[in-house]
């Protein structure tokens, strides 16, 4: 979700920076980039190491409050996302949203998409092990009644890509804030603009694509 469907990373980075500085620590852009795609409790533990003297779950809830407030005002969709979701919906392709963000934040984002866009939603508070562990993608595939090998995952972060590949899903890495490096079996795109059902079908069939 974050970085793949919508550009919420600036909200997260602002929340992290505010929290660390409030507790007398320092937080750089490089520190923030290092958390992209991580499970929220893992991110909270990193913030604790930068001086935030609060329980990890409290850190998560404080960040969620700030980010949700921003998303309720507006959502910045990534290029090509709405067109791709509309095409998949029209073709009857069941989709799952797999995110390490928590349910209440995912619900705030989902309020901006047509009902029925996602047949399943798996969030960070639904799983015991966050990305890069494959649990979230395995749960999503099971909810859809599909084998992971019959699914195409779209991801933008190294933890997310590792999670998707480890689940057995065909995977498309779309570069956003973090470089998407070549990896066996990984298709890559610089943007979802121009990526449609035809390209996803080719990836599902086993092709490894390099898309503009």
Which CATH number characterizes residue 185's domain? 3.40.50.1000
What pLDDT score does 120 carry? 97
pLDDT in tens, 43-74: 999 999 999 999 999 999 999 998 998 888 87
Mutual angle of helices 9-22 and 40-49, in 10-degree steps:
30
Domain final residue pick, 24, 41, 73: 73
Look at residue 74 in the predicted model and tell me its pLDDT: 79
Report the predicted TM-score, pTM, of the whole model to 2 decimal places. Answer: 0.83
Residues 64 and 92 in one domain: no
Query: CA 118, 99, 42: angle at the middle one, nearest 5?
Result: 165
Terminal-to-terminal C-alpha distance of the chain: 21
Q: What is the CATH number of the domain that holds 63?
A: 1.10.150
Give the residue from 73, 95, 116 where a domain finishes: 73
At 119 the three-state DSSP class reads coil
What is the structure's pLDDT at 190?
Answer: 95
C-alpha–C-alpha distance, residues 189 and 206, integer Å: 16
Indicate whether 196 and 116 sit together in one domain: yes
Domain count across the chain:
2
Task: Tell me which of 73, 100, 117 is where a domain ends.
Answer: 73
88 shares its domain with 186: yes
pLDDT band at residue 75 under the 50/70/90 scheme: confident
Give pLDDT, residue 70. 82
127 closest CA partner among 103, 145, 155, 153: 103
> For residue 82, is pLDDT > 90?
yes
Q: In the block, which residue shows the tokens 């599909």?
A: 146
CA distance 146 to 151: 7
**Cis peptide leading into residue 150 (ω within 30°):** no
User: Does residue 126 or residue 37 have the better pLDDT?
Assistant: 126
Cα separation, 74 vs 211, whole angstroms: 29
DSSP state of 2: B
Tokens matching residue 65 = 């409050």
Rounded Cα gap, residues 19 and 16, in angstroms: 5
Residue 49's domain comprises 9-73
Q: How far apart are CA 197 and CA 20, in angstroms?
A: 42
């Amino acid at each position: 979700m974050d970085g793949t469907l919508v550009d919420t990373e600036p909200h997260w980075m602002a929340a992290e920076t505010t929290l660390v500085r409030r507790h007398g620590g320092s937080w750089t852009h490089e520190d923030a980039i290092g958390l992209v795609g991580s499970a929220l409790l893992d991110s909270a533990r990193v913030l604790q190491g930068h001086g935030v003297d609060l329980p990890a779950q409290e850190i998560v809830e404080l960040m969620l409050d700030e980010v949700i407030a921003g998303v309720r005002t507006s959502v910045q969709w990534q290029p090509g996302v709405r067109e791709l979701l509309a095409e998949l919906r029209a073709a009857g392709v069941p989709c799952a949203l797999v995110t390490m963000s928590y349910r209440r934040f995912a619900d705030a984002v989902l309020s901006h998409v047509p009902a029925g866009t996602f047949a399943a939603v798996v969030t960070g508070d639904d799983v015991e092990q966050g990305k890069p562990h494959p649990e979230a993608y395995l749960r999503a595939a099971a909810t859809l009644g599909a084998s992971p090998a019959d699914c195409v995952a779209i991801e933008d972060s190294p933890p997310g890509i590792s999670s998707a590949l480890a689940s057995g899903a065909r995977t498309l890495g779309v570069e956003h804030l973090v470089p998407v490096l070549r990896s066996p079996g990984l298709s890559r795109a610089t943007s979802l603009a121009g990526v449609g059902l035809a390209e996803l079908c080719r990836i599902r069939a086993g092709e490894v694509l390099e898309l503009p």
